[in-house]
């Protein structure tokens, strides 16, 4: 049985704390009395995942067994989550592969021939062949790719249909193939509480027209937080859209969760608390530190991005979307929740090399903001860990570097938009439409491997709540000009940053370090 998450107070005997620092790591001495929040240990995985999947498909929640829904001559579409989760990518076999193989076997046994598999990448970039193969496995890939296994194209004018408008006026579009199917199966991997449920179909197979309904500054400011769906306006909107989809096409939802075993053996020290480090972990840390301090950026990136995580599947459920999702969220919360007593003046965070939108690419400055103030800041339930008007200190090199293939619109967003204004609402009003409709971004999204033109806006909006909540953001070790361009302060060392933060929050502040990944959700009392 693994240990639950913990909040440890730093004393004289506490070893230095690990900070992720982009494609590198640092050890930092936190002030005495600081708190460090650690994720729970990985919960035990299911011993026989294939058997559990078969059981879920045979005994779904509030739905008929999948076998009963399959018949010869039907049109079957199976959508699945893309590479934006889990992070780092899962070592093979990916749980999606296991589920897909079971589903396809059942379909074949039932005589279903018209089967399409669609990666529900929404406005994310198209996955490469290798990336798709990694998720679905060799057998499915060689059978279905490319004609019947492909990325969703949210900009294909003929490939998407408007299926209606919700009671709140949110438009809902869906992949035409999915909308015109007799059965639409979604295979989910819920990595954090934000994922899964109605959000998967509503966004994954949607288009800008439907995603724009909830990916707005206003919605995200009213999602406190979007890592806790009951308090998330974003999720309420997705539920309305998802219910409309269910009214249009017969859906069958399969959702899985994995534990937080996020690092392979070589990087096991990242998984562990520093007090648990063995001499081997210390040696591994030193080796990684040396490598990342000295190696060229390309080498570091290649090494980090080749890491695969040995996640274990912790649950699988199938059936009606909402009950399935609720059941899965229970397991996800069991893995992720850490009780935290009270807020803090200052939160420190090490931003890792990887976020949902930079698999096999650099975490560019806009994504650093998205990662730090968007995703990691919002990993809370109840109240943010940092108090209103407090300070967030991020550790990241924050270089002015972009991947021109994956993030072309991010480059223009950084150069053109952020030079003009940093205000999310103003950015949304003045610039979003023009990026979303730019023909070149559209072409790169459809034909290359670029994120949609509007995507950097969403990355920025994710951070809107944090920007409104905190009094200051300081980046330790960041490239000065870039950090200032983002509207933040820059410090060379953590000590400097803490000293600077005192000017905002006063003397003798309380400090809390979020030691992640592995990820956790702080349940702040």
Partner 1 sequence: MLALQYVRSVPAYALVRATGGNARVATSDLSMLHLGDIEEPEPPGRSWVRVRPSLSGICGSDTSAITGHASLYLDPLTSYPFVPGHEVVGVLDDGTRVVVEPALGCRVRGVEPACARCEEGRPGLCENVTEGAIEVGLQTGYCASTGGGWGEVLVAHESQLVAVPDALADEAAVLIEPFSCCVHAALRGAAGPEDTVVVLGAGTIGLLTVAAIRLFTPPRRLIAVAKHPFQREQARRLGADLVVAPDEVFQRVRFATRARRLDGVDRPLLLGGADVTFECTGTARGLNEAARFTRGGGRVVAVGMPGEEKVDWGPIWQRELTVMGAYAYGVESGGRRTFDLALEAAPGLALEQLTGPLFGLTDYREAIEYALGAGRLNAVKVAFDLRDLRV
Q: Which tokens belong to 328? A: 């899965």
Alpha helices in 20-150 (DSSP H): 49-58, 66-69, 95-109, 129-136, 138-144
State in angstroms the smallest separation of the CB of 12 from partner 1: 49
Strand extents, DSSP E, 341-497: 344-350, 380-381, 386-395, 472-476, 489-491
Instruction: Return the closest-CA partner of residue 475 out of 494, 461, 449.
Output: 494
384 contacts 524 by C-beta, under 8 angstroms: yes
Stretch that binds partner 1, among 3-11, 82-90, 323-331, 434-442 (CB under 8 A): 434-442
State in angstroms the smallest separation of the CB of 414 from partner 1: 11
Q: How many helices (H) and strands (E) does the chain have?
A: 22, 20
Instruction: Return the closest-CA partner of residue 358 out of 311, 303, 301, 413.
Output: 301
Question: Which positions from 485 to 504 touch partner 1 by CB under 8 A, shown as an x/- string?
Answer: --------------------
Contact flag: residue 416 with partner 1 (CB under 8 A): yes
Using the minimum distance from each CB to partner 1, give the nearer residue, 412 or 428. 412
- Using CB under 8 A as the binding criterion, the count of chain residues that bind partner 1 stands at 8
Contact flag: residue 293 with partner 1 (CB under 8 A): no
Q: Which helix (H) or strand (E) holds 509?
A: none
Question: Which positions from 359 to 398 touch partner 1 by CB under 8 A, shown as an x/- string?
Answer: ----------------------------------------
Contact flag: residue 138 with partner 1 (CB under 8 A): no
Using the minimum distance from each CB to partner 1, give the nearer residue, 345 or 438. 438
Contact flag: residue 481 with partner 1 (CB under 8 A): no
State in angstroms the smallest separation of the CB of 405 from partner 1: 10
81 contacts 118 by C-beta, under 8 angstroms: no
Q: Which tokens belong to 34? A: 């600081």
> In this chain, which of 81, 412, 428, 472 binds partner 1, going by CB under 8 A?
412
Residue 64 phi/psi, 5-degree rounding, is -80, 155
Using the minimum distance from each CB to partner 1, give the nearer residue, 404 or 503. 404
Residues in the chain: 525
Using the minimum distance from each CB to partner 1, give the nearer residue, 59 or 447. 447
Strand extents, DSSP E, 73-180: 75-81, 114-120, 149-151, 160-165, 171-175
247 contacts 202 by C-beta, under 8 angstroms: no
Using the minimum distance from each CB to partner 1, give the nearer residue, 162 or 440. 440
Stretch that binds partner 1, among 126-134, 280-288, 309-317, 411-419 (CB under 8 A): 411-419
State in angstroms the smallest separation of the CB of 364 from partner 1: 14
Using the minimum distance from each CB to partner 1, give the nearer residue, 390 or 408. 408
Instruction: Return the closest-CA partner of residue 472 out of 371, 368, 392.
Output: 392
Contact flag: residue 438 with partner 1 (CB under 8 A): yes
State in angstroms the smallest separation of the CB of 449 from partner 1: 14
Query: Distance (Å, rounded) from C-alpha 413 to C-alpha 455?
Result: 10
Contact flag: residue 155 with partner 1 (CB under 8 A): no
Stretch that binds partner 1, among 24-32, 231-239, 409-417, 466-474 (CB under 8 A): 409-417
Instruction: Return the closest-CA partner of residue 511 out of 36, 11, 26.
Output: 36
State in angstroms the smallest separation of the CB of 513 from partner 1: 38
Q: Which tokens belong to 125? A: 């970039």
Contact flag: residue 415 with partner 1 (CB under 8 A): yes
Using the minimum distance from each CB to partner 1, give the nearer residue, 71 or 480. 480
Contact flag: residue 62 with partner 1 (CB under 8 A): no
Using the minimum distance from each CB to partner 1, give the nearer residue, 426 or 437. 437
Contact flag: residue 411 with partner 1 (CB under 8 A): yes
Using the minimum distance from each CB to partner 1, give the nearer residue, 134 or 407. 407
Contact flag: residue 439 with partner 1 (CB under 8 A): yes
Stretch that binds partner 1, among 125-133, 345-353, 435-443, 508-516 (CB under 8 A): 435-443
Q: Which helix (H) or strand (E) holds 303?
A: helix 297-305
Query: Distance (Å, rounded) from C-alpha 517 to C-alpha 269?
Result: 11
Using the minimum distance from each CB to partner 1, give the nearer residue, 125 or 515. 125
Using the minimum distance from each CB to partner 1, give the nearer residue, 166 or 409. 409
Q: Which helix (H) or strand (E) holds 217?
A: helix 217-221
Using the minimum distance from each CB to partner 1, give the nearer residue, 75 or 446. 446
Instruction: Return the closest-CA partner of residue 486 out of 472, 500, 503.
Output: 472
State in angstroms the smallest separation of the CB of 438 from partner 1: 6
State in angstroms the smallest separation of the CB of 355 from partner 1: 23
| Adjacency order of strands within the sheet including 337-340 | 337-340, 521-524, 380-381
Which residues between 442 and 471 bind partner 1 (CB under 8 A)? 443
Torsion angle (degrees, nearest 10) of CA 356, 360, 362, 363: 10
Q: Which residue carries 């990087």 as its tokens?
A: 267
> In this chain, which of 92, 440, 492, 499 binds partner 1, going by CB under 8 A?
440
Using the minimum distance from each CB to partner 1, give the nearer residue, 447 or 525. 447
Query: Distance (Å, rounded) from C-alpha 7 to C-alpha 160?
Result: 48
State in angstroms the smallest separation of the CB of 270 from partner 1: 36
Give, as one character, the DSSP assignment of residue 94.
P
Using the minimum distance from each CB to partner 1, give the nearer residue, 237 or 482. 482
Stretch that binds partner 1, among 13-21, 303-311, 438-446, 480-488 (CB under 8 A): 438-446
DSSP characters for 389-400? EEEEEEE----S
Query: Distance (Å, rounded) from C-alpha 347 to C-alpha 36?
Result: 10
Using CB under 8 A as the criterion, which residues of the chain lie in contact with partner 1 when the complex forms? Answer: 411-412, 415-416, 438-440, 443
């Amino acid at each position: 049985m693994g240990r639950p998450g913990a909040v440890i107070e730093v004393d004289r005997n506490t070893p230095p704390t690990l900070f992720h620092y982009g494609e590198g790591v640092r050890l930092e001495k936190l002030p005495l009395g600081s708190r460090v929040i650690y994720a729970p240990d990985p919960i035990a995985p299911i011993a026989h995942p294939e058997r559990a999947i078969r059981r879920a498909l045979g005994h779904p929640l509030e739905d008929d067994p999948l076998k009963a829904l399959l018949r010869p001559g039907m049109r079957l579409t199976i959508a699945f989550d893309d590479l934006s989760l889990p992070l780092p990518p899962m070592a093979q076999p990916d749980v999606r592969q296991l589920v897909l193989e079971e589903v396809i076997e059942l379909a074949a046994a039932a005589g279903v021939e018209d089967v399409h598999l669609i990666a529900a990448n929404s406005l994310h970039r198209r996955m490469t062949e290798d990336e798709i193969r990694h998720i679905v496995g060799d057998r499915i890939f060689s059978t279905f790719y490319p004609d019947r296994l492909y990325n969703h194209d949210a900009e294909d004018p003929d490939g998407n249909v408007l299926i209606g408008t919700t009671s709140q006026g949110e438009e809902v579009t869906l992949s035409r193939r999915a909308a015109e199917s007799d059965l639409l199966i979604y295979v989910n991997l819920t990595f954090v509480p934000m994922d899964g449920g109605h959000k998967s179909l509503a966004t994954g197979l949607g288009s800008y027209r439907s995603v724009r309904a909830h990916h707005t500054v206003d919605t995200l400011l009213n999602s406190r937080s979007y890592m806790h769906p009951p308090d998330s306006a974003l999720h309420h909107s997705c539920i309305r859209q998802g219910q409309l989809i269910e009214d249009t096409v017969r859906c069958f939802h399969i959702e899985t969760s994995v534990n937080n075993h996020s690092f392979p053996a070589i990087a096991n020290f990242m998984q562990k608390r520093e007090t648990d480090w063995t001499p081997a972990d210390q040696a591994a840390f030193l080796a990684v530190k040396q490598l990342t301090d000295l190696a060229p950026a390309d080498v570091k990136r290649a090494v980090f991005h080749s890491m695969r995580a040995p996640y274990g599947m912790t649950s699988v459920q199938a059936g009606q979307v909402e009950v399935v999702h609720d059941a899965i969220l229970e397991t996800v919360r069991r893995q992720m929740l850490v009780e935290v007593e009270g807020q803090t003046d200052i939160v420190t965070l090490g931003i890792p090399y990887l976020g949902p939108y930079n698999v096999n690419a650099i975490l560019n400055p806009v994504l650093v903001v998205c990662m730090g103030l968007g995703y990691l800041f919002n990993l809370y339930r109840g109240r943010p860990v940092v108090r209103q008007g407090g300070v967030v200190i991020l550790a990241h090199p924050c270089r002015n570097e972009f991947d021109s293939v994956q993030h072309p619109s991010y480059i223009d967003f950084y150069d053109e938009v952020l030079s003009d204004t940093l205000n999310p609402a103003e950015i949304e009003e003045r610039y979003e439409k023009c990026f979303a409709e730019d023909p070149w971004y559209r072409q790169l999204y459809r034909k290359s491997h670029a994120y949609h033109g509007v995507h950097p806006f969403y990355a920025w909006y994710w951070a809107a709540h944090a920007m409104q909540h905190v009094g200051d953001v300081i980046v330790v070790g960041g490239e000065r000009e870039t950090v200032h361009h983002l509207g933040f302060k820059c410090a060379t060392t953590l000590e400097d940053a803490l000293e600077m933060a005192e000017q905002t929050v006063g003397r003798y502040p309380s400090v809390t370090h979020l030691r992640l990944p592995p990820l956790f959700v702080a349940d702040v009392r």
